[in-house]
Amino acid sequence: MMRLTVLVTLSPLCFAANSGRTVALPEECKGKECVLTHRGWWPKECVHNVPNGTFVHSSTAGVHVSYPDGSNKVFPDCTAKIPRESNFPGRDALQRPERNVSRAIGPINPEENNAWPVTWWMQPQTVVDYFSADYTLPHGGNEGLVGSWWIGVEPSDCSSVLQPVVYKHAHGDKWHLVTENCCPGGHDFRHGDVAISDGSQVHGVLQRETGTKYTISMTANGKTYTLQADNGKQMDKPLIALETYDTQYNCNELPAGTITATRVQTKPQLSFGRASGSALSKCGWSARASGDTVSASPPHQVPSYAAVQV
């Protein structure tokens, strides 16, 4: 097992101001119920906040959900229209079930949907048995990041993602955490979505149990939030990503300070791939990797370190 730690280092004012941006209700949500997630606005019928320990299993017969109380439910594909800024490749296939062979479709491609301003794909790409990170959230600053910071695993076709996530909304003054399986059958299954204080330490884990079944967990303030998931595919694309709601983000909506990742724990042993993402070209960010550390910095950054361990 390779042991790395993720240390996120940020300036004293943790995130840049959002320059007046608000999380406006999209046209597709007007006159219907939508909920704001760290992926942007989604139709309420496609988003499911499930109890701790719920097991979500995708198959050709639907998305089977087993709840901790012993009850079960099968969800057909969610065909509600996803707002434009939360759209993703393959979404239209949900309108044509015969083409939706994998039944696991998610907002994965950073060129066409939610942007990933900075991403590290772990190498080599292989089935991941274990992947963890400790997030120590920075103190101070109420300005919001339009999106999230997470470790995750995907199958080779990028059809879904399992991830323990910390996020902020553009207008929010609190960090939140969630364990997530996005998006079998067009559904976003989540446990958590709870606010945590600046300075909190959060431990995120992806653990393969057997076959293609994983446990996703996050621990903060003495409480653990757990979601189990089996999307029926080998999860062989691990990554670390900074994600925004959509491809049209503003550079000043990104973190105001350097983000550094060290001591990430993986099994089997993995190394960091080369950093990629639109922040490098669009916003003048720089990304570096050395030994067990990767870092991404906005231009003209003078780091002041507030710990974030992953």
- Least confident segment among 77-81, 103-107, 165-169: 103-107
Q: Can you give the pLDDT at residue 130?
A: 97
Burial 37-64 (b: 16+ CB within 10 A, else e): bbbbbbbebbbbebeebbbbbbeeebbb
> In the predicted model, is pLDDT for residue 154 greater than 60?
yes
Give the integer Cα–Cα distance in Å for 306 and 297: 14
Q: Can you give the pLDDT at residue 81?
A: 72
Tens digit of each residue's pLDDT (9 = 90 or more) over 278-307: 889 888 988 887 776 667 778 875 443 333
| Residue 138 confidence class, pLDDT cut points 50, 70, 90 | low
- pTM, whole model, 2 decimals? 0.79
- Least confident segment among 36-45, 52-61, 274-283: 36-45
> In the predicted model, is pLDDT for residue 59 greater than 80?
yes
| Residue 99 confidence class, pLDDT cut points 50, 70, 90 | very low
| H or E element that contains 14 | none
| Residue 226 confidence class, pLDDT cut points 50, 70, 90 | very high
Range ranked top by mean pLDDT from 105-109, 141-145, 197-201, 268-272: 268-272
Q: Can you give the pLDDT at residue 265?
A: 87
> In the predicted model, is pLDDT for residue 205 greater than 90?
yes
Domain ranges of the chain: 2-297
> In the predicted model, is pLDDT for residue 23 greater than 70?
no
> In the predicted model, is pLDDT for residue 44 greater than 70?
yes
| Residue 163 confidence class, pLDDT cut points 50, 70, 90 | very high
**Nearest CA to 163 among 176, 174, 178?**
178
DSSP-assigned letter for residue 117: S
Q: Can you give the pLDDT at residue 143?
A: 47
Give the pair of three-digit tokens for residue 310: 């992953």
Residues 6+ apart with CB under 8 A from 193: 37, 49, 176, 177, 178
| Residue 246 confidence class, pLDDT cut points 50, 70, 90 | low
| Residue 20 confidence class, pLDDT cut points 50, 70, 90 | very low
Compute the average pLDDT of residues 203-223. Answer: 95
> In the predicted model, is pLDDT for residue 256 greater than 80?
no
| Residue 6 confidence class, pLDDT cut points 50, 70, 90 | very low
Could you give the percent of the chain with pLDDT greater than 90? 34
Give the integer Cα–Cα distance in Å for 201 and 187: 29
Q: Can you give the pLDDT at residue 69?
A: 98
Contact 218, 203 (CB under 8 A): yes
Range ranked top by mean pLDDT from 96-105, 234-243, 285-294: 234-243
The sign of the dihedral angle between the CA atoms of 177, 181, 182, 185 is negative
Compute the average pLDDT of residues 144-170. Answer: 82
Q: Can you give the pLDDT at residue 7?
A: 37
As a whole number, the mean pLDDT across the chain is 74
